[in-house]
Amino acid sequence: MASFLGFVAFLWPFLVAPGTFGSAETPPLMFGALLVLVLAVVFAEVADGRIDAKALAMLGVLSAINAALRPLGAGTAGIETVFFVLVLAGRVYGPGFGFALGCTSLFTSALLTGGVGPWMPYQMFGCAWVGMFAGLLPAARGRAEIALLASYAAIAGYGFGFMLNLSFWPFSLDPGSSIAYQPGLPVEEQLQRYLVFFSVTSLGWDTGRAVTTAVLVAITGPAVLAAFRRAARRANFHATATFIAPPNPTDRPGGAGSLAQGEGD
């Protein structure tokens, strides 16, 4: 439901009749719904046993780390230092954890850096998908896993920019421009305009993000994955409590039965 809401919020220029929602109403509604749905995702993961108190503590720690890492690269040629942690954590701890981590990381960093604005719910959704889809990647180990994650990181870097541009494209250009959003156009023509807009305005910036994230995953991936998996094993995140009835004393070696048999012999 959270992802469905996000896709509708991003893709409304292609799907929703013009004038239904404006730029002033959409972000607050998205933000309120997103907070509720993130809580629903976390509660669902807790109920299914995929997130427990230890995993929630890890979620808080990684959110704080991401909030501290984000200002290191923001605003410099598209370089982003936050996405590689989302990719690696989503890979180890699963899609639900990755989705929640993307939302909480962006929310925390926005509060710390003063980045609260109408763009924030869109950024939260974008980062949530980066972490979620990392948790849905196919199984692999060793160099194949690092290559898979680095390739995904590059694709996610472009995908994040592609989706985020949709949040302001309908409102940012002169309606007379050949790459501006035009209400009422067929989907194919609307998409063609947007692809040209994306190519000429943010493709270079998104390339910086994609390259930075892929390189960070390739360099830090083996060590960070090992650390995350070691933490998961030691915290025993996915353990299931089982209760076993105590054995009958007569069935234990040296128990009453064996003693009686020994005395009879």
Token code pair at residue 50: 């995929």
pLDDT of residue 28: 64
In angstroms, the CA 205 to CA 73 distance is 12
In angstroms, the CA 84 to CA 80 distance is 9
Sequence-ordered alpha helix ranges (H) in the chain: 2-15, 26-47, 53-69, 83-93, 95-113, 120-135, 143-165, 169-172, 187-201, 203-235, 256-264
pLDDT of residue 214: 93
Identify the three-state secondary structure at position 201: helix
Fold of 2-240: Arp2/3 complex 21 kDa subunit ARPC3 (1.10.1760)
DSSP state for residue 251 in the 8-state scheme: G
Find out whether 153 and 87 touch, Cβ atoms under 8 Å: yes
Token code pair at residue 98: 């990755």
Return the axis-axis angle of helices 95-113 and 83-93, rounded to nearest 10°: 150
pLDDT of residue 15: 66
Domain ranges within the chain, ordered by starting residue: 2-240
Q: Is the dihedral of CA 181, 185, 187, 192 positive or negative?
A: negative
pLDDT in tens for each of the 265 residues of the chain? 777 777 777 777 776 655 555 555 555 666 677 677 777 777 777 777 666 677 788 888 888 888 888 777 655 656 777 888 999 999 998 888 888 888 888 888 877 776 677 777 788 888 889 999 999 999 888 899 999 999 999 999 999 988 888 877 777 767 777 788 777 777 788 888 888 888 888 888 888 889 989 999 999 999 999 998 888 887 655 555 556 666 665 555 554 444 344 444 4
Give the amino acid at 31. F
In angstroms, the CA 24 to CA 182 distance is 19
pLDDT of residue 137: 92
Measured between alpha carbons, how far is residue 252 from residues 55, 138, 249, 255 in Å? Answer: 39, 46, 5, 5
Token code pair at residue 222: 């083996």
- Angle (CA) 161-120-187 rounded to 5° is 50
In angstroms, the CA 239 to CA 50 distance is 9
